[in-house]
Amino acid sequence: MARIIVVTSGKGGVGKTTSSASFSSGLAMRGHKTVVIDFDVGLRNLDLIMGCERRVVYDLINVINKEATLNQALIKDKHCDNLFILPASQTRDKEALTETGVESILNELVNMGFEYIVCDSPAGIEHGALMALTFADEAIIVTNPEVSSVRDSDRILGIIQAKSRRAQTGSEPVKEHLLITRYSPKRVAADEMLSYQDVQEILRIPLIGIIPESESVLHASNQGNPAIHFKGTDVAEAYEDVVSRFLGEELELRFTNYEKPGLLQRIFGAK
């Protein structure tokens, strides 16, 4: 049975696209046929993060308007055979993203045998964000340990609980997961940043992972390779853990404790 997962946050710039790219790559690397859809019509960026921007010919709106077939618009990922990208349109009117259009594309993807359909939501709570979450079975709420991001996450949770198809039809509610990104254990230890326990206590949804603040995320986007491919980095391992937990494994949290650097480390400046 195919699962539709929306990656959303309300607030912009918290790591939705970065997380969508790594999460969908992680699912595909474990052998699951996966597609990741960019819902940010007018401001597409998933193609850049996935490094396929020069291969975009047709997009989501072209398919909705029947100017191209789904097969023509899907881009095969350069790293994983099981992963496909459906880019957003860069120029078209957002209104073209209709509910019936989105529904028929999702149905077609399910019929094509995709196991996981990851919807990368735009920021905000407008039409595009609504379309991304409407058909979701599960939601990954990307949150930074910071007041405006936590508040917006709570807001988007309220919208999922009211406006999603599952909520409207009264079926089993959308399964919610909290993903905390840009986490700095050092600043948490100094009581300068909300701890993951604080964020979880406020939002009251299960935690699927914590991605530490890291330079490697920028390196990854600079090169157009999802951060999960940078083996050995904290961020890649943290995303691997997220994928494992999503698939049902129980893993302890990592990268949440701050260890004071020793004297030698400080002198030689090792990180």
Partner 1 sequence: MALLSFLFPSKPKTASMAKERLQIIIARERNGRGGPDFLPALHKELIEVISKYTRVSPEDIKISLDRQGNLEVLDVNVVLPDA
Alpha carbon dihedral 228, 120, 158, 254, in 10-degree steps, equals 0
Alpha carbon dihedral 117, 77, 59, 46, in 10-degree steps, equals 80
* Residue 124 engages partner 1 in binding (rule: CB under 8 A): no
- Which one of 4, 14, 131, 150 is in contact with partner 1 (CB under 8 A)? 150
In contact, 25 and 18? CB cutoff 8 Å: no
- Nearest-angstrom CA–CA distance, 89 and 92: 6
- Which one of 81, 93, 192, 215 is in contact with partner 1 (CB under 8 A)? 192
Q: Residue 14: which of 178, 233, 137, 136 has the closest Cα?
A: 178
- In terms of DSSP H, where are the helices of the chain? 16-29, 46-50, 60-64, 70-73, 99-111, 127-134, 147-163, 165-169, 185-189, 196-203, 216-223, 234-246, 263-268
* Residue 200 engages partner 1 in binding (rule: CB under 8 A): no
* Residue 259 engages partner 1 in binding (rule: CB under 8 A): no
Q: Which long-range contacts (CB under 8 A, 24 or more apart) does 234-239 make?
A: 235/22, 235/211, 236/22, 238/209, 238/210, 238/211, 238/212, 239/19, 239/22, 239/23, 239/26, 239/209, 239/211
- Which one of 158, 173, 206, 262 is in contact with partner 1 (CB under 8 A)? 158
Residues with Cβ within 8 Å of 197's Cβ and at least 6 positions away in sequence, in order, are none
Which phi and psi (to 5°) does residue 214 adopt? Answer: -155, 150
* Residue 173 engages partner 1 in binding (rule: CB under 8 A): no
* Residue 147 engages partner 1 in binding (rule: CB under 8 A): yes
- Which one of 103, 108, 115, 146 is in contact with partner 1 (CB under 8 A)? 146
Which phi and psi (to 5°) does residue 113 adopt? Answer: 95, 15
Q: Give least dist CB 173 to partner 1, A.
A: 15
* Residue 198 engages partner 1 in binding (rule: CB under 8 A): yes
Residue type, 112: M
**Residue with Cβ nearer partner 1 (94 or 151):** 151
* Residue 174 engages partner 1 in binding (rule: CB under 8 A): no
* Residue 188 engages partner 1 in binding (rule: CB under 8 A): yes
Among the residue ranges 10-18, 132-140, 198-206, 214-222, the one whose residues contact partner 1 (CB under 8 A): 198-206
* Residue 191 engages partner 1 in binding (rule: CB under 8 A): yes
* Residue 195 engages partner 1 in binding (rule: CB under 8 A): yes
**Residue with Cβ nearer partner 1 (195 or 244):** 195
* Residue 155 engages partner 1 in binding (rule: CB under 8 A): yes
From residue 93, alpha-carbon distances to 43, 62, 82, 211, 228 in Å are: 11, 11, 31, 34, 33
**Residue with Cβ nearer partner 1 (96 or 189):** 189
Among the residue ranges 10-18, 25-33, 153-161, 167-175, the one whose residues contact partner 1 (CB under 8 A): 153-161
**Residue with Cβ nearer partner 1 (81 or 192):** 192
* Residue 202 engages partner 1 in binding (rule: CB under 8 A): yes
**Residue with Cβ nearer partner 1 (156 or 220):** 156
| Residues making contact with partner 1 (CB under 8 A) | 146-147, 150-151, 154-155, 158, 162, 188, 190-195, 198, 201-202
